[in-house]
Structure 1
Amino acid sequence: MPVTKATDADFQTLLETNDKVVVKYYADWCGNCRLFSPKFKRMAEAMQEQGIKFLDVNAETSPEARKLASVTNLPFFAVFRNGELLDTVAASKEEAVAALISRLN
């Protein structure tokens, strides 16, 4: 399952229509965000059989989606189950994001 770009316009709908969601919050100016993008895409492809939806959200242009996860730093990751925020992490290490995603199982 590829990573889906989400905005404030469709973020809530994506949370409601997918049981398990992983969100990467980023900004265009964020170097670590850009460096993590290929890793995030690889993780999404590796986990496509598990029914987890992976979303990319621009934290600067989607303030409502950003508020839902209380984004403090970038890149910032959040996991949602059944539309509810489960946990977050501000990190650029793949291991930290993998540990966060494992909370969905």
Structure 2
Amino acid sequence: MAVQVVNDSEFKEILANNSKVAVKFYADWCGNCKLFAPKYKRVSNEEEQADTVFVDINAEENPEARKMAGVDNLPFLAVFKDGQLVEGSASSKEDYLRSLLAKL
């Protein structure tokens, strides 16, 4: 599934309408965010992730979503189940992303 770039209001709608949501918070100036983007996209396209919605959120432009996940550094990965934050942390490691997805 393609990674959707969303804003605050779209994010709330996605959380309300989807059981499993993975989020990558980024900023345009963040080099590690850009380096991690292809890995995030590749994982989102894996067959076993078909029931999870993957989104990208610009942390600088979407303060409500940033606050919901407790973003403290970038890139920041988080997973939500049934609209609730399960876990999130600043990371650009594929292994951490996979460990988060396993918690869904």
Q: Which runs of 4+ in 1 moved over 4 A?
A: none
Residue identity in the other structure for 1:37? A
What percent identity do the matched residue pairs reach? 49
**Partners of 2:15 and 2:80 within 8 A in 1:** yes
**Partners of 2:2 and 2:54 within 8 A in 1:** yes
TM-score by length of 2: 0.95
Structure 1 residues not aligned, in runs of 5+: none
Q: Secondary structure at the match of 2:92?
A: coil
**Partners of 2:43 and 2:49 within 8 A in 1:** no
Q: CA RMSD in A?
A: 1.1
For residue 56 of structure 1, report the CA deviation from its aligned partner.
0.2
Structure 2 residues not aligned, in runs of 5+: none
**Partners of 2:22 and 2:78 within 8 A in 1:** yes
Mapped to 2, the partners of 1:48 and 1:61 lie a distance apart of 31
Mapped to 2, the partners of 1:77 and 1:4 lie a distance apart of 15
TM-score by length of 1: 0.94
**Partners of 2:71 and 2:89 within 8 A in 1:** no
1:71 aligns with 2:66: no
